[in-house]
Structure formats: C-alpha cells, structure tokens
C-alpha cells in the first residue's frame, strides 16, 4: 500500500471549515484514499473514501487532485467534537474478496478551538 | 451503520495473570477480524488477522503464544493476553471486516488494559 504524508497537527476555529491535506505521491491506479478519525480513547471511525472523483457525504468532502498524488479532507463546519486524530490511508479496496488490513500512519491531530 | 463491540472496555490485572478481550460484530457476520494495539500518543499497530475457523496470522514481532486469538464464530473473536506484564499495558482495538459496502472495516471502541 502507498505511503501517505500528513501534517502532525492543525488548529481550526469552531464553525469554520477544516481542510486536512494528505500526500500520497506513490499511489497506484487501483488504490483508494480512505479517511478515518480517532477521537481520544475511542476506536477509529470511518469518514469517507474515494478513488479519483471528489466525494461528499454527511460528514465530510474528499477532494482528490487530478494526478491523484494528494487529497484534502474538508469538514465544512467544524465543531468541538471534531477534535480528533485524522488518518489518511491509501489501500486497494478489496482483493478478490479477501480482507485487507488498514495501515495507520501518524495522522493529523486536529484541534477545533472555541 | 455496522456496530462492533468490545468487552471489557477497561481492565486492570496483576502481572502474571491472563486477560481475555472479546470483540463482537453485532449486526453483521465477519469472516475476518483484525486486532490492533495502540500505545499512548502512538498510532495503531496491527497485531494479527483473525479468520473464522482457522488460525490467526500474526504480524512480525508479535508473539502468538502470548497473544492468543480465537475466532470461533462469525460474530466473535477473542484476544487473550497470557502472563501479562506491565509492558503489555496498552489500548487494544479490534475491527471487523464485513466484506461489503463502503468503509468495510468497522472498529470497536477499544479496551484499555493496565497491568500492575
């Protein structure tokens, strides 16, 4: 699986958009970009994933560059409860039906400030 | 969404004793579950992959005789930390693979193990 690079920490004002970048310059054509977050002392929570098109769901938007070498997770209106470590993971979605583990990097500690 | 539970959420045990942690997929069947360990201020590290009805696959450096994994049914996997020592104190997290749908791995809430 391709390696990802994220800034170690970011701050965001409550109510503003939080834009979390991720570099994955060695991504392969069949690898997806997944985003998970981990609130302190809890298990990771799935946020969103995408292949090459931009994606949006009720939690966030995912913007993937045309060359797919980087992406940005956008939380449109950050709240205090969005304070967490955000992990960007690149991985093949499935491999002939077999399960693939997620390899977590260091992630970005997002702190939403009141 | 899919729900994965872990029990217990917190456990304190004495050095030399064994501790069992359960991971259950509550509303789906999981042929594969993963066990992760997380030390303070560190990222999750995969310990082993648990497949229903077969032996678990351990990551390099993880002692299979110390961390016993049993995946006896499609909704339950257990991790037993045998002869626990203080250095085994950690946050243990399981995930279950549903094999369908987006975000196909669902994580449990974690178990905080403290060995005194």
CB contact (8 A) between residue B103 and residue A102: no
Residue A99 has pLDDT above 70, yes or no: no
**Residues A18, A79: Cα–Cα separation, whole Å:** 10
Percent of chain A's residues with pLDDT above 70:
92
Residues of A in contact with B104 (CB under 8 A): 93-94
CB contact (8 A) between residue B103 and residue A43: no
Residue A10 has pLDDT above 70, yes or no: yes
State the average pLDDT over residues A80-105. 82
User: What is the reported pLDDT for B2?
Assistant: 75
Please name which of B29, B116, B68, B43 lies closest in space to residue A38, comparing C-alpha atoms: B43
Size of interface A-B (CB pairs under 8 A): 55
Residue A103 has pLDDT above 70, yes or no: yes
For residue B49, list its beta bridge partners.
Answer: B34, B57
Residues of A in contact with B6 (CB under 8 A): 43
Sequence-distant (6+) residues with CB within 8 A of A29 are: none
A46, A62, A84, best to mutate vs chain B, most B CBs in 10 Å? A46
User: What is the reported pLDDT for A71?
Assistant: 97
Residues of B in contact with A45 (CB under 8 A): 107
Extended strands (E) in B1-116 = 4-7, 10-13, 19-25, 32-38, 45-51, 57-58, 67-73, 76-81, 90-97, 105-107, 111-115
- Contact between residue A72 and residue A55 where contact means Cβ atoms under 8 Å apart: no
B51, B105, B110, best to mutate vs chain A, most A CBs in 10 Å? B105
CB contact (8 A) between residue A46 and residue B102: yes
- What torsion do the CA atoms of A20, A26, A32, A34 make, to the nearest 10 degrees? -30
Give the pLDDT band (50/70/90) at residue B4. Answer: very high
Helices and strands per DSSP (H, E), number in chain A: 0, 9
Please write the tens of the pLDDT for every residue from B36-73: 999 998 999 999 999 888 889 999 999 999 999 998 89
User: What is the reported pLDDT for B84?
Assistant: 96
User: What is the reported pLDDT for A97?
Assistant: 53
DSSP A80: G
CA atoms within 13 A on the CB side of B109: 8
User: What is the reported pLDDT for B35?
Assistant: 96
Task: Name the minimum distance, in Å, from the CA of B94 to any CA of chain A.
Answer: 8
**Residues A6, B4: Cα–Cα separation, whole Å:** 28
Residue A113 has pLDDT above 70, yes or no: yes
- Contact between residue B24 and residue B76 where contact means Cβ atoms under 8 Å apart: yes
Chain B residue with minimal CA distance to A97? B99
Please name which of A72, A67, A73, A55 lies closest in space to residue A28, comparing C-alpha atoms: A67
Please write the tens of the pLDDT for every residue from A19-42: 999 999 999 888 899 999 999 999
B30, B31, B40, B43, best to mutate vs chain A, most A CBs in 10 Å? B43
Burial class (CB within 10 angstroms; exposed 0-12, middle 13-18, buried 19+) of B36: buried
Task: Name the minimum distance, in Å, from the CA of B53 to any CA of chain A.
Answer: 15
């Amino acid at each position: 699986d391709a390696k990802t690079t994220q800034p170690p920490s970011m701050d965001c004002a409550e109510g503003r958009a939080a834009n979390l970048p991720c570099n994955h310059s060695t991504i392969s054509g069949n690898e997806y970009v997944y985003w998970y977050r981990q609130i302190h002392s809890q298990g990771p929570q799935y946020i969103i994933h995408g292949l090459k098109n931009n994606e949006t769901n009720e939690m966030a938007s995912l913007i993937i560059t045309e060359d797919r070498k980087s992406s940005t997770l956008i939380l449109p209106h950050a709240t205090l409860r969005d304070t967490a470590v955000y992990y960007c993971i690149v991985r093949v979605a499935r491999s002939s039906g077999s399960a693939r583990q997620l390899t977590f990097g260091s992630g970005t500690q997002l702190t939403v400030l009141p | 969404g899919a729900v994965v539970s872990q029990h217990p959420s917190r456990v304190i045990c004495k050095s030399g004793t064994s501790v069992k942690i359960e991971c259950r997929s509550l509303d789906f069947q999981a042929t594969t579950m993963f066990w992760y360990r997380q030390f303070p201020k560190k990222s999750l590290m995969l310990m082993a992959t648990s497949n229903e009805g077969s032996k678990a696959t351990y990551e390099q450096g993880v002692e299979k005789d110390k961390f016993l994994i049993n995946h006896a049914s499609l909704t339950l996997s257990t991790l037993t930390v045998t002869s626990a020592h203080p250095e085994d104190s950690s946050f243990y997290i399981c995930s279950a693979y549903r094999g369908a749908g987006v975000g196909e791995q669902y994580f449990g809430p974690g178990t905080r193990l403290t060995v005194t």
